[in-house]
């Protein structure tokens, strides 16, 4: 029988698989849900190996099990839900609200318990609509699925919801939910936010016609003169960006799996079999500042690159979606790195001011959960300084993120470098962002496709700080998995300039200076 099944065309195989799944569900001999799921995966794996195809998702949009199936996968209608977590709520979150005595309480729990709690909440919400079924998939297993990982499937009066559980963030990405379901979830204190579009204005690219000047390496001991005592060996940095051009000569010294790449679609789901690419040039520029053999501050660091800005808007801005950002972040802190257990440092050379309050609170909790995994999150403060204080970006604005501002080669704060208050800082006694500054003006680094370019922006200062953290962690390995202590140690490697006395809020603790790393 199996030989005949494997000989079917993809559309016929999907129909046969769904039909057989119904048989398994109705058979007493296959009562265990996990056993049925393993059987499905075995069929899919055998079929993919036999036919040499990567995914069956494109074939699942046809007729399934003889019933007309309406499959909706639009990312613009997807939603993200997060469990309430009092550790990362602002002061307003602790105030009692009418009906709060009827809410389910969710103390901080393990990953397994969080998944159970989310399923419990969803089943509660689904009582608002009869004949509704939920299929929740771990993000690490989405590549095995025949159907789209985030989808809303209607068959007659029945509704099937398929969603992705982001293990490290305590979040779920789901297809469009009906309003009664959303109302029930929000009554339980759960954040339900739309899959908002995130627009990031990239720095202007000025391709170099002369040899590059890697002046940003002056933050290293001896002004960047090689050889370095520390080069990032054994340390992992994750990048949330546009991707990477791994064929650039700056990365020719990398061997084996020293650079790992994953691409995420607009629903935050990993794209199976995606080859490394840069959807702009920003990611390659940032990666080279971290790990390039000439431009790099930590040339031996392990890089994990999550491509989460994969589109361009009509005005040239880089575009991604909230789910993409969370999907990439979840992979970085949960599965990336040389050992597959997450990176130690996450660099987010991106930011946006255009988030709703609900988006902000969700991002606040998600990044807090990422920190629980032991990762330090570093982000660019933003390039709206010419507009005055308070125009800085998320996620750098969050109190548990290391926000980085920009200076030029003469130690002058860049006019575009933002500053302002932290989100989550109840006292708000003084502007506390950025936390630190680094080189961010006329930064020469790799350009996708070959060659070098100059760019300006705090998004180039951020990888300088991420790389500095890698070198500090290499010297002090006992700080591994302790993001707070590692951040405090980072602040000890700073210097101040007397000319900054009147602009102290714009520089935080000062400029990164790694001279103290010398033995």
Judged by DSSP in three states, 241 sits in: strand
Distances (CA, A) of 273 to 124, 145, 174, 246, 263: 36, 14, 23, 16, 9
If you average pLDDT over every residue of the chain, what do you get? 82
In a domain, 168, yes or no: yes
What percentage of the chain carries pLDDT values higher than 70?
84
Query: Residue 410's domain is classified under what CATH number?
Result: 3.40.50.200
Q: How far apart are CA 65 and CA 67, in angstroms?
A: 5
Domain containing 17: what range? 2-59
Check pLDDT > 50 for residue 372. Answer: yes
Predicted pLDDT of residue 443: 97
Same domain, 261 and 154: no
pLDDT (mean) for 100-129: 62
Same domain, 220 and 243: yes
Provide the domain count of the chain: 3
Same domain, 342 and 406: yes
End residue of a domain, out of 150, 179, 195: 195
Same domain, 150 and 250: no
In a domain, 64, yes or no: no
Predicted pLDDT of residue 98: 40
pLDDT (mean) for 199-218: 91
Same domain, 229 and 373: yes
Distances (CA, A) of 241 to 15, 16, 318, 361: 38, 40, 10, 22
End residue of a domain, out of 174, 195, 216: 195
Q: How far apart are CA 213 and CA 283, in angstroms?
A: 19
pTM, whole model, 2 decimals? Answer: 0.81
End residue of a domain, out of 163, 195, 227: 195
Tell me the two tokens of residue 69.
């199936």
Contacts of 486 (CB under 8 A, 6+ apart): 376, 469, 472, 473, 479
Predicted pLDDT of residue 30: 46
Q: Is the peptide bond before 227 cis (omega within 30 degrees of 0)?
A: yes
Can you point out the beta strands (E) in 357-484? Answer: 376-380, 402-407, 436-439, 443-446, 452-455
In a domain, 264, yes or no: yes
In a domain, 321, yes or no: yes
In a domain, 411, yes or no: yes
Write the pLDDT tens digit of every residue in 115-158.
778 778 888 888 777 778 888 788 887 765 666 788 887 777 78
In a domain, 149, yes or no: yes
CA-nearest of 215, 166, 133, 123 to 444 is 215
Tell me the two tokens of residue 249.
């000569």
Same domain, 511 and 367: yes
In a domain, 91, yes or no: yes
Which residue is listed with tokens 């604005």? 397
Same domain, 512 and 374: yes
Predicted pLDDT of residue 501: 66
Same domain, 120 and 261: no
pLDDT band at residue 99, thresholds of 50, 70 and 90? very low
Catalytic residues: 241, 282, 459
Write the pLDDT tens digit of every residue in 389-410.
877 888 888 888 999 999 999 9
In a domain, 424, yes or no: yes
Kindly report the CA angle at 308 between 404 and 201, in degrees rounded to 5? Answer: 55
Same domain, 390 and 421: yes
Same domain, 425 and 285: yes
Same domain, 138 and 89: yes
Contacts of 293 (CB under 8 A, 6+ apart): 249, 250, 251, 252, 253, 299
Same domain, 218 and 175: no
pLDDT (mean) for 479-483: 92
């Amino acid at each position: 029988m199996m030989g005949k099944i494997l000989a079917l065309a993809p559309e016929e195989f999907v129909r046969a698989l769904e039909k057989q799944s119904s048989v398994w569900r109705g058979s007493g001999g296959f009562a265990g849900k996990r056993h049925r799921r393993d059987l499905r995966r075995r069929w899919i794996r055998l079929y993919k190996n036999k036919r040499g195809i990567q995914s069956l998702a494109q074939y699942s949009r046809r007729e399934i099990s003889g019933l007309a199936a309406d499959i909706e996968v639009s990312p613009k209608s997807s939603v993200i839900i997060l469990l309430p977590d009092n550790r990362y709520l602002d002061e307003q979150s602790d105030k009692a609200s009418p009906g709060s005595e009827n809410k389910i309480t969710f103390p901080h729990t393990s990953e397994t318990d969080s998944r159970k709690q989310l399923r419990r909440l969803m089943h509660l919400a689904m009582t608002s609509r009869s004949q509704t079924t939920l299929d929740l998939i771990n993000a690490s297993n989405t590549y095995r699925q025949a159907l789209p990982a985030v989808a809303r499937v209607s068959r007659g009066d029945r509704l099937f919801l398929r969603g992705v559980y982001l293990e490290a963030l305590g979040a779920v990405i789901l297809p469009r939910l009906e309003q009664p379901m959303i109302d029930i979830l929000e009554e339980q204190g759960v954040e339900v936010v739309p899959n908002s579009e995130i627009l990031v204005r990239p720095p202007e690219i000025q391709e170099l016609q002369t040899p590059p000047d890697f002046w940003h390496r002056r933050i290293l001991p001896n002004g960047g003169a090689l050889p370095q005592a520390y080069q990032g060996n054994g340390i992992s940095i994750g990048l949330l960006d546009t991707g990477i051009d791994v064929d650039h000569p700056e990365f020719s010294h990398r061997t084996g799996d020293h650079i790992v790449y994953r691409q995420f679609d607009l629903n935050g789901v990993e794209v199976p079999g995606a080859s490394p690419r840069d959807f702009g040039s920003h990611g390659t520029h940032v990666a080279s500042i971290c790990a390039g053999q000439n431009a790099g501050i930590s040339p031996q660091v392990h890089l994990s690159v999550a491509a989460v800005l994969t589109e361009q808007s009509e005005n040239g801005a880089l575009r991604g979606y909230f789910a993409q950002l969370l999907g990439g972040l979840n992979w970085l802190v949960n599965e990336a790195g040389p050992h597959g257990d997450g990176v130690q440092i996450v660099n987010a050379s991106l930011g946006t001011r255009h988030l709703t309050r609900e988006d902000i609170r969700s991002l606040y909790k998600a990044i807090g959960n990422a920190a629980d995994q032991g990762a330090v999150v570093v982000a660019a403060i933003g390039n709206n300084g010419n507009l005055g204080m308070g125009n800085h970006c998320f996620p750098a604005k969050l109190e548990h993120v290391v926000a980085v501002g920009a200076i030029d080669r003469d130690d002058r704060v860049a006019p575009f470098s933002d500053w302002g208050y932290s989100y989550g800082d109840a006292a708000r006694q003084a502007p506390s962002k950025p936390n630190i500054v680094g080189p961010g003006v006329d930064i020469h680094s790799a350009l996708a496709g070959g060659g070098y370019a100059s760019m300006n922006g705090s998004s180039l200062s951020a990888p300088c700080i991420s790389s500095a953290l890698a070198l500090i962690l290499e010297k002090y390995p006992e700080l591994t998995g302790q993001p707070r202590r590692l951040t405090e140690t980072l602040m000890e490697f700073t210097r101040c300039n007397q000319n900054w006395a009147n602009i102290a809020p714009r520089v935080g603790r000062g400029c990164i200076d790694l001279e103290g790393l010398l033995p």
